[in-house]
Structure 1
Amino acid sequence: MEEYQGNFRKTKCPVVLLTKLLSTLIIYITTTIQTSQAQPNYNFPPYNVSEKSLEPRYVKMYDKIQVELNITCNHFSGNVGKIYMVSHDESVVKVQQEPVDIICYHEKINIVSFMIKGEFLGKTKVKLKFFGKSNNKLDEKDLDLKVIVKNRRLTNIFIIIVASFMIILNFGFGCKIEINVIKEILKKPIPPLIGILCQFILMPILGLTISQAFQMNNDIGFGLLVLATSPGGGGSNVWTLMLGGDLNLSLCMTLFSKIAALFMMPLWLYAVSRLYISETASVPYKHIAMGLLALLVPCLCGVVLRKWKPRVAEFIEKIIKPVAVIFVIFVITMGSITNVYIYLMWARKWYIVPSALLITYLGYALGYAFARITKQGHTRSLTIAIETGIQDTGVAIVLLQGTFNEPGGDIAAALPMTAALFTPFPLMILLTILHIHICWKNGKCERFGGPKNQKDNSVDIDSLQQNEKSLPLNTTQLSSFNV
């Protein structure tokens, strides 16, 4: 250090002085780190062992990694010992290497490696066992290993495409919105309030009941709780449109649900999350706010377009239902492809599928029943049921992955993803029955999803009125129409 201080005194330029000071610090820190890494972790008479790889270690599913150890020989007498590696849980990690002999002849430092393969998501340990020349056990050491999802790029592409679809669909919904109907709903917001009660009182209680019935006091049980307390998803608007529900009411309920989630999710998580985990769950306010913007902005643009260019808005109304069908097909197919690991989890955690089915399908049934009890009509009850059963799985997944480190977030998110996969099936069955009924009633299917629209009916009425005008009617005949 005295040599460096002498050089600094001779240097008058502050820039050069600062550069030399920084270079000195970098050299010092680098030397310190190298020295600390070179220190052996395990000291034995015949050899010393230091870990070359730093913890924590991650391996992707179905990939292989090498765990390398530096061997420092203290005696050059040939074979001085062996090292064994054993996996605590071979369903998560398998060790692909046989025991390694430690040979010390001329080189002081040798490198030995063990091949490890990731089998499935999870956390486990591998045990290193050190033996001497006479096969006497010297020591053992546990290394933590985590197996994570192999490819997230396809999942990210899937999320981007789904978000783009939802923006387009919300824009189309805005073209169909009737402002007068929205005003009436806001003046008497009984149906939206019923939906909020179902969403944030009925569903969390149902989620708690199911998790306790299956004894899911773990991260997957917490995933069920997060799903049950999440707001309504954008898919509810799509299915409301396709099943002939009240689209205006559905959009209002989705909006109210996302606003209420800013307060109700933290309340529920604070009250009962300790039954499942010790970590502190953070509500993804940013993600919920982005969901609000993704709903409001496109819808308002659609409303403006309907006022400004009615014909363009009418054209968009005609194509919005086929776009919704394409969206549903895409979500089901690509959602299944991008989350293949979930199918393997179903075999390992048998309660994932039953609990996902119960939370979703009972949500539909109880939402409809509660709406009928409160004297709502069939159309509104159907809308409330769809809004109750379809949760915003995106909010649930973001919260879970933010609460747990990999792979805990993916494991906990398996239940919301499973629920998302099974959500459309009863609605698809209902849509098929509705379509068959319409075909049977009309004799043939004019359109997918319903009979002729109001525009077609208005054309028929206009033609009838023109025919009536062409008929010669006297005053006696006209007076016969008066009541």
Structure 2
Amino acid sequence: MEDTIDYTLDLFSDPDLWGNESFSFNASAANTSFVPVMPPVINKSVNLILIIVLTITMVSMGCTMEVAKIKDHILKPKGVLIAVISQYGVMPLTAFCLAKVFQLTEIPAVIVLICGCCPGGTLSNILALAMQGDMNLSIVMTSCSTLLALGMMPLLLYIYSQGYANLQDLVPYMDIMKSLVMILVPCGIGILLNYYRPQYSKIITRSGIIMLLLAVVVVCALVTVGVGGSILNVLAPRLMAVSSLMPLIGYSFGYIISSLFRLAQKERRTVAMETGCQNVQLCVTILKLAFPQELIGPLFLFPFVFGVMQIIEAVVLIVLFRSHQYFTRNKKETYKPTETEEKPEKSSDVAV
């Protein structure tokens, strides 16, 4: 274990990691023994809250999935297939390329890759609704990408980790698989509840959203107290650049790919939102459960930064779309009265 700790300390104190920035670990000059980034009590509390909230969130997400609608899209799978290819093709490749372009070392690179390989979350459904997308496709795409994550996440991580010399040994495949199984079971329970007891689905879904919002506040408060100034390490310029570019590239390529396959406009907007929007709470939970604290440090907070950026960029896109829609509608409305005025004149001429 000492070798791991020594390697970790060297990794986070390396000035080449972020350029001139460096990680400030609480280790004395005389003794290289590791002092946790967060106190054990706060760390355990954050882990427990993340597990509970993610379980409730996945149950509530399962309650939005209807077996009949899933079956319809399976029988006509064109939209879902394109959406899944965009989700698991664009985002992992984007994460890998950005990690290479910004020359991230092993630990930050694997965290960015895990974030890129995550499926779409419930937030993507809300964003698709705001973009007036195809909600059936959005929900089915979230369902399929979540279920496929059990096989796709480890596979994609294995493929892309080959691009780094030491990354294969740092990816905890079994722990990620355990986390995914633990997460997919509540989702399955939600689907069954919605099928057999649909009257409770809306209550569970609303409760899940409220719990998620409260948990975000509580976790942020605990992490701020526990991590302190180390949280600034996650806001290093290279990671900020990666977290800004990833969702924007996902939104753009999701729309472009669905346009190439000639999907309807509503479906294109849906695929765009689903591609660029990752399941942040899933990513945070995997990072907290699968990696030891002495190895990952405060970097488990990266998905939060990514989540904020994907929301900001999605809101900008929604505002642009709504503005375009508003001005287009106004043009049509100003054009219609001239048509209605011409019609009575023609009818009167005929009468004469």
TM-score by length of 1: 0.53
- The aligned counterpart of 2:334 is none
Q: Deviations over 1:144-167 (max 9, x none)?
A: 333321322256335534542453
Equivalent residues in 2 for 1:356-395 (5 A)? 356-395=243-282
- 2:132 aligned counterpart, secondary structure: coil
Indicate if the aligned counterparts of 1:393 and 1:420 stay in contact, CA closer than 8 A: yes
Q: State the one-letter code of the partner of 1:189.
A: P
Select which of 266, 270, 283 maps to 2:154: 266
Q: Classify 1:210/1:160 alpha carbon distance in 2 versus 1 (closer, same or farther; 3 Å).
A: same
Q: Deviations over 1:32-75 (max 9, x none)?
A: xxxxxxxxxxxxxxxxxxxxxxx89x9xxxxxxxxxxxxxxxxx
Select which of 12, 35, 39 maps to 1:146: 35
Counterpart-to-counterpart distance in 1, 2:90 and 2:59: 29
- 2:35 aligned counterpart, secondary structure: strand
Q: State the one-letter code of the partner of 1:185.
A: H
Counterpart-to-counterpart distance in 1, 2:158 and 2:109: 15
Indicate if the aligned counterparts of 1:232 and 1:392 stay in contact, CA closer than 8 A: yes
Q: Classify 1:354/1:197 alpha carbon distance in 2 versus 1 (closer, same or farther; 3 Å).
A: same
Q: Classify 1:377/1:121 alpha carbon distance in 2 versus 1 (closer, same or farther; 3 Å).
A: farther
1:220, distance to aligned residue in structure 2 (A): 0.7
Indicate if the aligned counterparts of 1:280 and 1:403 stay in contact, CA closer than 8 A: no
- The aligned counterpart of 1:228 is 116
- The aligned counterpart of 2:185 is 293
- The aligned counterpart of 2:293 is 406
Select which of 337, 360, 371 maps to 2:221: 337
Indicate if the aligned counterparts of 2:83 and 2:141 stay in contact, CA closer than 8 A: yes
Select which of 164, 167, 183 maps to 2:71: 183
- The aligned counterpart of 2:350 is none
Q: Which of the pair has more CA radius of gyration?
A: 1
Q: Classify 1:345/1:383 alpha carbon distance in 2 versus 1 (closer, same or farther; 3 Å).
A: same
TM-score by length of 2: 0.70
Aligned residues: 306
Counterpart-to-counterpart distance in 2, 1:407 and 1:327: 29
Counterpart-to-counterpart distance in 2, 1:330 and 1:434: 30
Indicate if the aligned counterparts of 1:198 and 1:367 stay in contact, CA closer than 8 A: yes
- The aligned counterpart of 2:83 is 195
Unaligned runs of 5+ in 1: 1-54, 59-87, 92-119, 128-141, 444-483
1:413, distance to aligned residue in structure 2 (A): 2.3
Q: Deviations over 1:308-350 (max 9, x none)?
A: x6xx87xx49x96x77875775466455434434741145x32
- The aligned counterpart of 1:419 is 306
1:375, distance to aligned residue in structure 2 (A): 0.8
- Name the one with the larger strand percent: 1
Q: State the one-letter code of the partner of 1:147.
A: P
Q: Classify 1:438/1:296 alpha carbon distance in 2 versus 1 (closer, same or farther; 3 Å).
A: farther
- The aligned counterpart of 1:36 is none
- RMSD over aligned CA atoms reads 4.1
- 1:168 aligned counterpart, secondary structure: helix
Equivalent residues in 2 for 1:455-474 (5 A)? none
- The aligned counterpart of 1:80 is none
Indicate if the aligned counterparts of 1:204 and 1:225 stay in contact, CA closer than 8 A: yes
- The aligned counterpart of 1:108 is none
Higher relative contact order (CA 8 A, sep 6+): 2
Q: State the one-letter code of the partner of 1:265.
A: M
Unaligned runs of 5+ in 2: 14-22, 331-352
Indicate if the aligned counterparts of 2:251 and 2:273 stay in contact, CA closer than 8 A: yes
1:192, distance to aligned residue in structure 2 (A): 1.4
Counterpart-to-counterpart distance in 1, 2:264 and 2:221: 39
Counterpart-to-counterpart distance in 1, 2:53 and 2:286: 21
Q: Deviations over 1:16-47 (max 9, x none)?
A: xxxxxxxxxxxxxxxxxxxxxxxxxxxxxxxx
1:265, distance to aligned residue in structure 2 (A): 2.4
* Percent identity between the two aligned chains: 22
Name whichever of 336-345 and 368-377 sits farther off: 336-345
Q: State the one-letter code of the partner of 1:164.
A: I
Q: Classify 1:289/1:427 alpha carbon distance in 2 versus 1 (closer, same or farther; 3 Å).
A: same
Counterpart-to-counterpart distance in 1, 2:33 and 2:160: 30
Counterpart-to-counterpart distance in 1, 2:83 and 2:132: 18
Counterpart-to-counterpart distance in 1, 2:208 and 2:52: 17
Q: Classify 1:147/1:427 alpha carbon distance in 2 versus 1 (closer, same or farther; 3 Å).
A: same
Counterpart-to-counterpart distance in 2, 1:191 and 1:144: 53
Q: Classify 1:398/1:124 alpha carbon distance in 2 versus 1 (closer, same or farther; 3 Å).
A: same
Q: Classify 1:143/1:331 alpha carbon distance in 2 versus 1 (closer, same or farther; 3 Å).
A: closer
- The aligned counterpart of 1:351 is 238
